[in-house]
Amino acid sequence: MLTFTPEQRRRFAADIDGDYRPKTKKPIVLVGLMGSGKTALGKRLSVALSLPFVDSDAIIEEKSGLLIRNIFEISGEAKFREMEHKTILSNLKSSPVILSTGGGAFCNPKTRKAIKTHAISVWLDAKPTDLLHRIGNTSSRPLLNTGDSLQILSDLRQHRMADYQQAELHVRTGRHSLRLSMKKILNILEQYSYIEALSDKNGK
């Protein structure tokens, strides 16, 4: 679980309109390609709903003492997917959390099944050019360093689309500000009665 400094909390809270509380005990799991905003929005959602924030990539790095790109280099992608599956599974069955997953997690059939069974899945989607714009430096993303990053992202999006579409809720993050993306996520969660607003959307 990641803890935030008071300064981070203030910064995240500035992107949240209104007060909300969860109406479900299920974890909320963010899925989607690299650069779709899973981590940035997950942190803000955790502050908005006063739920712990966990990030599967961060847990894997912390537990193994290795960077994701080193795990890919040393042990290969299949081993990484196994570690990712175990990490996600162990966070689905504890108390409610906001869980941000690595981009390929929901494309692993057994991980996807576990998420769909135990959690509310939210797919964050954006065009490849917007994803790459947000990622910026690709050096920490091993899958993007084997050729033209934009082409790889386009191919991945096409290959993974059918998997991501199985997420329960879909939100386009595009090039929106974090504040606008937060509004969209909170609105859809409220619409599905997974959360409720405690004050009106203007924070009054």
Burial pattern 76-113, b for ≥16 Cβ within 10 A else e, equals eeeebbebbbebbeebbeeebbbbbbbbbbbbbeebbe
61, with CB counted inside 10 A (0-12, 13-18, 19+), is middle
* Beta partners for residue 169, in sequence order: 122
The yes or no reply on residue 104 touching ligand S3P (CB under 6 A) is: yes
Binding segment (CB under 6 A) for ligand S3P, from list 41-49, 99-107, 116-124, 177-185: 99-107
Q: How far is the CB of 70 from ligand S3P (least distance, A)?
A: 11
Nearer to ligand S3P, 58 or 197 (CB): 58
Q: How far is the CB of 104 from ligand S3P (least distance, A)?
A: 3
Identify the residue among 143, 167, 182, 195 touching ligand S3P (CB under 6 A): 143
The 113-142 contact track toward ligand S3P, x by CB under 6 A, reads ----------------------------xx
Question: Dihedral of CA 25/87/66/140: which sign?
Answer: negative
Binding segment (CB under 6 A) for ligand S3P, from list 17-25, 97-105, 187-195, 196-204: 97-105
Query: What three-state secondary structure class fits 197?
Result: strand
Q: How far is the CB of 190 from ligand S3P (least distance, A)?
A: 26
Nearer to ligand S3P, 157 or 195 (CB): 157
The 50-89 contact track toward ligand S3P, x by CB under 6 A, reads -------x----------x---------------------
The yes or no reply on residue 34 touching ligand S3P (CB under 6 A) is: yes
- Neighbour count for residue 31 (Cβ, 10 Å): 29
Report the distance separating Cα 189 and Cα 24, nearest Å. Answer: 10
The yes or no reply on residue 103 touching ligand S3P (CB under 6 A) is: yes
Nearer to ligand S3P, 20 or 80 (CB): 80
Question: Dihedral of CA 92/98/141/71: which sign?
Answer: negative
Question: Dihedral of CA 138/140/143/146: which sign?
Answer: positive
Q: Residues interacting with ligand S3P, by CB under 6 A? A: 34, 38, 57, 68, 102-104, 141-143
